[in-house]
Amino acid sequence: MKQPAIILIRPQLGENIGKAARAMLNFGLSDLRLVAPRDGWPNPDAGPSAAGAGSVLETARIYPTVEAAVADCTHVYATTVRDRNMPKPVVTAGEAACQMKALSAAGEQSAIMFGPERSGMTNDDVALADTVLTIPVNPDYGSLNLAQAVILVAYEYFTVRDNTPAYLPAHPEGLASKKELVGLMEQLETELTAKGFFRSEGRRGPQRRTLRNIIQNAGFSTQETRTLRGVIKSLVHGRPE
């Protein structure tokens, strides 16, 4: 299955190319394409910033033009924050991720283009794209750098396929049974009665109910219930020799 390619157009700093490679590999992407990197290629500043993602740099392909870089692609996204006023659909990173997943499944090669650090893509670059990909940011402060833009797009692609359950149980080893919880309640009530905690027979019912609700609703595991029984015993009797 073809993964989306990441295309960096005329990137300026080798350090940013390395960081982009690292961002890609964190989320399972490895098809890096560089269009006319300013300082040539290979760039000695890229490797140290890649932090273990050197494999992505080693297999990166270099192209003289954007046209050449996108030649084998059927759907290309232009990442931009500025409003381009171009007659193209505009999608969020999340929507683009959904589309690219469908494209990958259909055997299509998709790609996401990112412009140079300082100036962004030219209108000629954007004209080669099918779709504008926009990353929603704080309208009062939009200041994403190149590697940050890459990591957000890669993250969206990775998580759109993520099958990790959103919620894992807090106590895989087993919640306490009601019998265990009642045992804890009764032990606590016995000790509190001996200590005169319940102020009167009339107050005893409501106070007892309050304590039982606390224990009931806390979601204790079997092991935690056992620990708490030891705690109560220690508080009253100290540690047995």
Q: Please report, as ranges, the residues that interact with a copy of itself according to CB under 8 A.
A: 22-23, 25-28, 51-53, 87-92, 94-95, 136-138, 141-145, 148, 151-152, 155, 158-159, 161-162, 164, 166-171, 188, 191-192, 195-197, 199, 210-211, 214, 217-221, 224, 227-228, 230-232, 234-236, 238-239
| DSSP states along 109-151 | -EEEEE--TTT---HHHHHT-SEEEE----TT-----HHHHHH
Instruction: Name which of 17 and 151 has its Cβ closer to a copy of itself.
Output: 151
Instruction: Name which of 122 and 227 has its Cβ closer to a copy of itself.
Output: 227
CB of 40 to a copy of itself, least distance (A): 26
CB of 36 to a copy of itself, least distance (A): 26
Cis peptide before 87 (omega within 30 of 0): no
Q: Report the distance separating Cα 36 and Cα 68, nearest Å.
A: 11
CB of 63 to a copy of itself, least distance (A): 25
E strand or H helix that includes residue 5: strand 5-9
Q: Report the distance separating Cα 14 and Cα 45, nearest Å.
A: 5
CB of 67 to a copy of itself, least distance (A): 21
Instruction: Name which of 71 and 174 has its Cβ closer to a copy of itself.
Output: 174
CB of 110 to a copy of itself, least distance (A): 16
Amino acid at 94: G
Q: Report the distance separating Cα 17 and Cα 147, nearest Å.
A: 8
Q: Backbone dihedral region of 121: left (phi > 0), alpha (psi from -120 to 50 degrees) or beta?
A: beta
Give residues with Cβ within 8 angstroms of 211, minimum separation 6. Answer: 185, 188, 189, 192
Instruction: Name which of 42 and 94 has its Cβ closer to a copy of itself.
Output: 94
CB of 65 to a copy of itself, least distance (A): 24
Instruction: Name which of 65 and 203 has its Cβ closer to a copy of itself.
Output: 203
Instruction: Name which of 141 and 179 has its Cβ closer to a copy of itself.
Output: 141
